[in-house]
Structure 1
Amino acid sequence: MDVFHAMQVFVSVIETGSFTKAAQALHLHRPAVSKTIQLLEQQLGGRLLNRTTRQLSLTPEGEAFHERCKTILAEVDETMASFGNRPARLAGRLRVDMPVTLARLLIIPALMDFQQQYPDIELTIGASDKPIDMLSEGVDCVVRMGALEDSSLIASGIGYLPMVTCAAPSYLQRFGTPQSLGDLPQHQAVNYFSGSNPRPIEWLFTVDGQTTAMRLKSGIRVNDTEAFIASALAGFGLLQALEISVHEHLQNGSLLRVLEEFPVPAKRVSILYPHRDLLPPKVEAFVQWLKGLMLAHRLS
């Protein structure tokens, strides 16, 4: 059995809603379509369709198989088109995982532009600050910030995001405003930790052109970006955060900049995807769009 042909037949049956219409669309005899579906079900060891005299419906296994078939056929179409003389028709499902802050404040507000450029790409966005397993979860690419752990994934830098050190007025009234890095041992911080590792992320400062790393005593530790900002607003400690995540609070005075003489190095933003000899065109299109978005915001 030609599995690729069988997938095409199966998808056509679902999209047209009948064996007869699928046969007409594919220029096949109806018995050939029916036989192909039967052989496909035998090959897979399970029923894909519930058949009645009036309608067809997918079994749960059939629904899952249908989604996979659509993805595979779309990627084959993209690959063949990319080597031909006509522009690739980018289509299919694209699943991207990204940090909550980037999703909410930067990427999703601009994402309609990508959708308008590529209307046949079905976007699935995961917004999470927790590590994921791309392969087991079926994620096409992941946007991440900061230093990256060693892995088998391919990483491409797409820009940088400005950082800021700040604190709530209520905290500064209690502990005073630090004037130098030497004052920091007398202060406490809102510290962020990632995943199941409770060790907080280091604080970074630029001193005479060199990066200095420090660990500050925790007023509180959190692993969620919303709780991270909320803890600083509540006065738990000094905060190092993405400027875009606290811009509104800096504007209205609920957070105040500190240690401006010791700027924080900008946070690197990268996009990661599984190692492949040929990157799917829809993923490449998203990578290029995101690089353009970073550039447009003067963050690269």
Structure 2
Amino acid sequence: MQVFAKLAELGSFTKVAEATQTGRPYVTRTIQELEASLGVRLFQRTTRKVKLTAEGERFYERVKEILATIAETTSMFDRSGSTLSGRLRIDIPTAFSQHGFMESLRQFTEAFPEIELALGVTDRRVDLVAEGIDCVLRIGDLPDSSLVAREIGSAIMVTCASASYLQACGVPETLADLAGHRCVGFLSGQNNRPLPWHFSMAGEDHPHTPRGGITVNESNAYVQCGVAGFGIIQAPGITVGAYLASGELVEVLGAFRPAPRLVSVLYPSRSHLAPQVNAFVDWLKKHFPIVHPDWFNAY
């Protein structure tokens, strides 16, 4: 049933084999045996696509309920992690791929030693179902989708620049002063445009489109552009906190700090959630504020 459900979601024998870490012949044989035992055809197969038949769609609805019940039942006695097992594939923003967060992940694997963690690090928008990802952690506003989002807190944003840049170009005192400064842009993976900055003034949001000589699409490179003196950047405090403490970066326009940006965990379905995903989300809500207490507001 697990193989069947995964094939219904991904629509590809090859993708199911990759997601389940098995071979394509195994997936094919499993589906053939399932169809033979039921006496019905569950999928229409072409050279390019695998699609559920009418019988397959009805079977899929029941299978989802059955698998969800099994997952709940097998985890009902011990939520501490000692009996939780299986593969958990997660994806986090590049901004979180630093010592504090990675140390927290190591503690998670120690608390749940039977869970095999597969970690992806990217700033692009991912297709959880097609890529076989269990859940993703993201910063900022979420696009409308069928995914379930669980808020775990908010990240404090900081506008800053290197001390050498400010010494050479001056310190902006007002939002209007930004017009005379170089601003490093961060390229959105969704629309291929620089993400707007935000400032808060008198309780109102004031967006600003950064303009300068360089735009990047990766969080660590973005911060390094600020450290190297390319211009002003606006980033989550968790990514620049160490540089602010050392003096390599200096906060500017602190009186206009934007509202903190939402941090959420997204997963495909509330009714078909593996217990290891639940354990990871609960862990994040409890431990993430401890990792970055100065730059993170817990909910």
Q: How many positions carry a matched residue from both structures?
A: 235
State the alpha-carbon separation in 2 of the partners of residues 105 and 198 from structure 1.
Answer: 29
Could you list the per-position Cα deviations for residues 205-256 of structure 1 after superposition, in whole angstroms to 9, with x for gaps in the alignment?
1111222111122231000112101211221111111112112211222111
Show the counterpart of 1:48.
Answer: none
**Percent of counterpart pairs with the same letter?**
40
Q: 1:80 to 1:183 in 2, by over 3 A?
A: same
8 Å Cα contact 2:68-2:273 kept in structure 1: no
Show the counterpart of 2:176.
Answer: 182
Report the TM-score, using the length of structure 1 for normalisation: 0.71
> How far is 1:75 from its partner?
7.7
Aligned runs of 1:139-288 on 2, under 5 Å? 139-195=133-189, 197-288=191-282
Which residue among 58, 75, 78 is the counterpart of 1:87? 78
Which residue among 74, 85, 97 is the counterpart of 1:103? 97
Q: Which moved more, 1:147-156 or 1:189-198?
A: 189-198
Greater relative CO, 1 or 2 (CA 8 Å, sep 6+): 2
Q: 1:230 to 1:295 in 2, by over 3 A?
A: closer
Question: 2:73 corresponds to which letter in structure 1?
Answer: M
Could you list the per-position Cα deviations for residues 21-54 of structure 1 after superposition, in whole angstroms to 9, with x for gaps in the alignment?
xxxxxxxxxxxxxxxxxx869739xxxxxxxxxx
> How far is 1:166 from its partner?
0.7
Show the counterpart of 1:49.
Answer: none
Q: Does 1:114 pair with 2:108?
A: yes
Report the TM-score, using the length of structure 2 for normalisation: 0.71
- Over 3 Å off, 4+ runs: 39-44, 74-78
Which residue among 126, 131, 134 is the counterpart of 2:128? 134
Could you list the per-position Cα deviations for residues 113-134 of structure 1 after superposition, in whole angstroms to 9, with x for gaps in the alignment?
2222221111111111122111
Residue 171 of structure 1 aligns to a residue in which SS?
A: helix
Could you list the per-position Cα deviations for residues 118-166 of structure 1 after superposition, in whole angstroms to 9, with x for gaps in the alignment?
2111111111112211111110001011011111111111111111111
Residue 97 of structure 2 aligns to a residue in which SS?
A: helix
8 Å Cα contact 1:185-1:216 kept in structure 2: no
Unaligned runs of 5+ in 1: 5-38, 45-73
State the alpha-carbon separation in 2 of the partners of residues 40 and 221 from structure 1.
Answer: 48
8 Å Cα contact 1:101-1:225 kept in structure 2: yes
State the alpha-carbon separation in 1 of the partners of residues 32 and 203 from structure 2.
Answer: 67
8 Å Cα contact 2:159-2:235 kept in structure 1: yes
Q: Which moved more, 1:136-145 or 1:267-276?
A: 267-276
Residue 219 of structure 1 aligns to a residue in which SS?
A: coil
Unaligned runs of 5+ in 2: 3-28, 35-66
Show the counterpart of 1:43.
Answer: 33
Q: 1:210 to 1:40 in 2, by over 3 A?
A: closer
